[in-house]
Amino acid sequence: MKVQLRDNIKTLFFLFTVMMLLPTANAATYYVSPTGNNANPGTLASPKADFSWFTSSIPAAGDTVYLRGGTYTDKHMVIKSSGNAGNPIIITNYPGETPILNGVDQTGYGIIAGGISTNFRVNYVNISGITIHDYGNGILVREATNVHISNVNVYNIAGVDDGVFFLDSSYSSIKDSIVRDIGWNAIGVQVNYKSVHHIDIINNEVYGGINAGHNLIDLNNNGAGSAANEYTHDINIIGNRLHDTIGGNSAIFEHGTDVLHHDRITITDNIAYNTNALQVGYLKDSVVKNNVVYSSTYGLESQASVPIENVIFTCNKVYSNQVNTYLAVKPGKSITMVNDNIPDYRITQGNALIIDPQPERYTIRADGGRITIRYTDGGPYTVNGVTKTGDYTTSSSGVVERVYKQGGMPATCTTAPIEPVLAKITVSPSPVLLPLGSTQQFTAYTEDQSGNPISAMITWTSSNTTVGTISLSSGLFTALAAGTTIITASSDSISGTATATVVDTPVLTSIFVTPQSATTTIGSSIQFTAHPKDQFGNDISAAITWSSSDLAVGTIAQDGLFSALTLGTSTITASSGNIAGTATAHVKDPENCIPCALCKRFEKWKIVCTMINEFCTSNNRPGSFCTGQKQLCESKVDSLIAKCHEMSCEGTCASAA
């Protein structure tokens, strides 16, 4: 009888499982549009207007809600119903369109999946293809399971909540999304009353901040209701690009207590730069692999207050940080670091085993614990110049030791590729003062995350088209009316600005420097003069700043007097704001110079040539004398004068006319 009952229970459980996986027979499709009406049935032709019609049973398991493109102003989506394993509720953008939830005043929640003011639970919901901005919190997943978020764009969330927040939830994810410029954590995972586990944070771009900001990805065990058996575990942080935090905040950060570690956390294939650190505090039984961290305060970090234990670091590339590695290990515990490419290791409190590090040269420092180095090829290496074979273990005295292994060790795995992406746009010139009716060519200088030039498609805009307009593609600005406008060069989410002020009174538009070219000798000087002009070509007063392009050749005082120091050529610049004019100063060897007096003699010959030509022409004298003199003057004298001035070292020679 008991066997029969057990078999019946198994059969019923099997049938229930199959029913849960089968598609729902009466799955519905709903359509929502900013131009709809909630009295409508929610069809494609008659869509609803927002999400206030959601109930604890609608949408139901297997239902799909399509959001048409457009802006949903100050609307809040509260998901109260659940799908099941085979029939999730799908809330997504209508194909080819972008629905935008605009919270306007940066308060409230954009989307809530789970309990907040009531005790409902939510399971099996997929959210995708939605842009959410200017709420107090972007997406809250609370006390929920199997809520999967993908291809969303969340930004300008200015409250003290997160962009995307998994609270007391499990078996959920955010993938292939952009989360940026958040007032608190961009993506938060927190235990309050129950464990948070099996959360996937995969292939997202997360960056920026608002006000002081907080961390980009934040794991928190310090909820108000936490107990020793409620903690975060089995979290996967994989393939994310994390960059440009503000206020010294981290790419990844963990909160916890000595009891509440973060267990079985996988941090792999992430790229982090321009942040405080890729922080690994309170990790236990975890893996940190194939990450790239650079241009940050710390590379890999766990401070003494958040020690780690039994963590494996492997194939991480960490470089160009103020401190590349600072890892506090729980006293009496250890970590293992295999085939990492890190130029300096600092381990505090506990122990570390470093196996086959890639660099040829690197430093190690153990404070309180010990570091052991192991090369599996059995070959020699040196520590502070002393040859070693086999394992080497440091003292715990905090002394920096220098390790050299000829050729280093080959990489046994591949770190995440550092794909250049646009990170900064600088617009020049700025600021600029322009006369009415003039034009100004603006230029956008684009850089990647490493500060290298990168190509980008730039779109130009003017904040005040009454003051001036700018070509959308070329950056050519036309001044139309007196006033100030902001010029913006943008590409996707990255932008740079310049300020243009238009005036209808005379303004400086050019500077002409005389002499344009002059030659002198070492120890001598040349007086240059700046002639500032307005838009009408008239003289105008301007404060001039002088500079020499090659200070080894010569310096220039702020009155325009150039002092020659050594042989060579220097460009002399007279500038006032963004307006500049240039001239050239040559410093030559006196032994190779022609006296200026000789140049003036050649100029007198030219006067004589001119008089002879006039005599021959006016008296109609075609004879051999006139013909010969004319050819001589035209072919010889002009070139002699030009060459003489070129080789003169007494500045410019005034005409002898």
Give me the pLDDT at residue 412, please.
86
Poorest-confidence range of 18-32, 249-263, 342-356? Answer: 18-32
Q: What pLDDT is attached to residue 420?
A: 78
Residue 652 has pLDDT above 90, yes or no: no
For position 606, what pLDDT does the model report? 65
Confidence class for position 424, pLDDT limits 50, 70, 90: confident
Confidence check: pLDDT of 24 > 50: no
pLDDT at 76 over 70: yes
Is it the case that residue 19 has pLDDT exceeding 60? no
Q: Residues 577-592, buried b or exposed e (16+ Cβ, 10 A)?
A: eebbbebebbbbeeee
CA distance linking residue 571 with residue 561, whole number of Å: 13
Please give the average per-residue pLDDT across 428-446, as a whole number. 90
Average pLDDT over residues 59-69: 95
Mean pLDDT (whole number) for 609-636 = 65
* Other CB atoms within 10 Å distance of the CB of residue 631: 10
Distance CA 525, CA 248 (A): 52
- Of residues 616 and 545, more confidence is placed in 545
Phi first, then psi: give them for residue 443, nearest 5 degrees.
-125, 135
- Residues 252-273 have a mean pLDDT of 84
Question: pLDDT of 325-365, one tens digit each?
Answer: 999 999 999 999 999 999 999 999 999 999 999 999 999 99
Tokens of 570: 């220097």
8 A C-beta contact, residue 574 and residue 559: no
- Going by pLDDT thresholds of 50, 70 and 90, the confidence category of residue 255 is confident
Residues 6+ apart with CB under 8 A from 608: none
- The separation between CA 403 and the C-alpha centre of its own chain, rounded to angstroms, equals 34
Secondary structure (H, E, C), 64-111? EEEECCEEEECCCEEECCCCECCECEEEEECCCCCEEEECCCCCCEEE
Q: In the prediction, which pLDDT does 88 show?
A: 95
Give the pLDDT of residue 3.
46
More confident residue, 588 or 216: 216
pTM of the predicted model as reported, rounded to 2 decimal places: 0.66
Query: In this predicted model, what pLDDT tens digit does every residue of 116-159 receive, in sequence order?
Result: 544 568 999 999 999 999 999 999 999 999 999 999 999 999 86
Provide the b/e sequence for 497-533 (b: ≥16 CB within 10 Å).
ebebbbeeeebbbebebebebbbbbbebbbebebebb
Q: What are phi and psi of 121, to 5 degrees?
A: -120, 150
Q: What is the mean pLDDT of residues 155-168?
A: 87
pLDDT digits (tens, 9 = 90+) for 181-202: 998 899 999 988 788 999 999 9
pLDDT for residue 349: 92
Q: What is the mean pLDDT of residues 619-625?
A: 60
pLDDT at position 342, please? Answer: 96
Contacts of 368 (CB under 8 A, 6+ apart): 331, 348, 349, 350, 396, 398
Q: How much is the pLDDT for 27?
A: 87
Residue 91 corresponds to which tokens in the numbers above?
């809330």
| pLDDT on residue 82 | 94
Range scoring the smallest mean pLDDT among 275-279, 431-435, 604-608, 641-645:
641-645
> In the prediction, which pLDDT does 656 show?
32
The yes-or-no verdict on residue 23 having pLDDT over 60 is no
- Predicted local confidence at residue 495, as pLDDT: 86
- Is the per-residue pLDDT at 416 higher than 90? no
pLDDT of residue 623: 58
CA distance 600 to 641: 8
> What is residue 590's DSSP assignment?
G
- Is 80 exceeded by the pLDDT of residue 115? no
Does the pLDDT of residue 494 top 90, yes or no? no
Q: What are phi and psi of 128, to 5 degrees?
A: -155, 160
Which CATH number is associated with domain 27-221? 2.160.20.10
Q: Is domain 508-591 classified as CATH 2.60.40.1080?
A: yes
Structure confidence at residue 577 as a pLDDT band (50, 70, 90): confident
CA 611-615-616 angle, to 5 degrees, is 120
What's the pLDDT at 202? 95
- Number of other CB atoms surrounding residue 612 within 10 Å: 17
What tokens does 439 get?
């034009």
In percent, the amount of the chain with pLDDT more than 70 equals 82
Q: Where are the beta strands (DSSP E) in 492-643?
A: 494-503, 508-514, 517-521, 525-527, 529-534, 545-548, 554-556, 561-564, 568-576, 579-588
Q: Which of 328, 326, 323, 300 is nearest to 313 (CA)?
A: 300
pLDDT greater than 70 at residue 592 = no
By DSSP bridging, strand 561-564 and strand 525-527 are antiparallel
* pLDDT of res. 282: 87
The mean pLDDT value of the chain amounts to: 86
The CA angle 136-142-147, to the nearest 5 degrees, is: 105
Comparing 627 with 216, the larger pLDDT belongs to 216
Q: From CA 475, how far away is CA 490, in angstroms rounded?
A: 11
Confidence (pLDDT) at 593 = 65
pLDDT single digits (tens) 441-455: 999 999 887 678 999
CA torsion 626→628→634→639, rounded to 10°? -140
Average pLDDT over residues 625-651: 61
CA distance 329 to 335: 7
pLDDT band at 226 (very low <50, low <70, confident <90, very high): very low
Q: Which residue has the higher pLDDT, 18 or 483?
A: 483
Over 313-378, what HEC string results? Answer: EECCEEECCCEEEEEEECCCCEEEEECCECCEEEEECCEEEEECCCCCEEEEEEECCCEEEECCCC
The candidate with the shortest Cα–Cα distance to 178, out of 158, 207, 146, is 207
Q: Which of 160-169, 311-320, 603-612 has the highest mean pLDDT?
A: 311-320
Instruction: Identify the band that residue 22 occupies on the pLDDT scale cut at 50, 70 and 90.
Output: very low
| Confidence tier at 230 by pLDDT (50, 70, 90) | confident
506 confidence band (pLDDT: 50, 70, 90): confident
Give Dmax over CA atoms of the chain in angstroms: 145
Average pLDDT over residues 630-648: 62
CA separation for the pair 442, 470 (Å, rounded): 9
The answer to whether 121 and 82 are in contact (CB under 8 A) is yes
Q: Which residues contact 405 (CB under 8 A, 6 or more apart)?
A: 357, 360, 375, 379, 381, 382
